[in-house]
Amino acid sequence: MALVKRAVALLTAMTLMLELIHAAVYKVGDSAGWTTSGNVDYKQWSATKTFQVGDVIIFEYNAQFHNVMRVTHAMYRACNTSAPLATYTTGNDSITIKTRRHHFFFCGVPGHCQIGQKVDINVLRSDQIGTNSFFSALHTSSFCQSTRVVHK
């Protein structure tokens, strides 16, 4: 019985440590970045990631031809650029995820959103990740799926 209690305590501690240290850095579109060329499917890209609070989303793009707008769901669906929640224009924008919900982004250059330059970053609650959250977290943690970006 004592062994079982120790094992449970260890698994609980490991789960908590993963929550604290596993913040990942994701480059939107991976090597292609944020672009209209190369047939990047941002819906598919985001579907292969398990985003957590604390993760950093990086948009890399040519600032002469693109930007990033953070928008509401209705604006995202309609590609409506009239009143974005935020606009990013540096070409190397880092956004830290602070809440569990959908975060909607698109390029505000006319026509780009309509041809697919938009992404829905869905941050699930930990109880939505899987029935066995510890092993699911291990499998989908930054060690398995994220793109590590190191700035020198």
Residues 21-47 have pLDDT tens digits of 668 999 999 999 999 998 899 999 999
Q: What is the CA radius of gyration of the chain?
A: 18
Is residue 88 domain-resident? Answer: yes
pLDDT band at 150 (very low <50, low <70, confident <90, very high): very low
pLDDT band at 127 (very low <50, low <70, confident <90, very high): low
Is residue 122 domain-resident? Answer: yes
Residue-range definition of the domain harbouring residue 56: 2-145
Quote the pLDDT of residue 19: 53
Neighbours of 137 (CB within 10 A): 19
Q: What is the CATH number of the domain that holds 22?
A: 2.60.40.420
Is residue 131 domain-resident? Answer: yes
Is residue 152 domain-resident? Answer: no
pLDDT reading at 71 higher than 70 = yes
CA 109 to each of CA 15, 16, 58, 69, 134: distance values in angstroms, whole numbers, following the listed order: 42, 42, 18, 10, 41
When divided into structural domains, the chain yields a total of 1
Mean pLDDT check: name the lowest of 22-26, 53-57, 104-108: 22-26
Is residue 56 domain-resident? Answer: yes
Is residue 150 domain-resident? Answer: no
Is residue 129 domain-resident? Answer: yes
pLDDT reading at 8 higher than 90 = no
Quote the pLDDT of residue 17: 56
Edge-to-edge strand ranges of the sheet holding 68-71: 86-88, 68-71, 102-106, 118-122
Is residue 151 domain-resident? Answer: no
Across the chain, what does the average pLDDT equal? 82
Quote the pLDDT of residue 10: 67
CA 119 to each of CA 96, 131, 134: distance values in angstroms, whole numbers, following the listed order: 15, 26, 27
Q: Residue 138: in which H helix or E strand, if any? A: helix 133-140
Q: Tokens in use for 96?
A: 């830290």
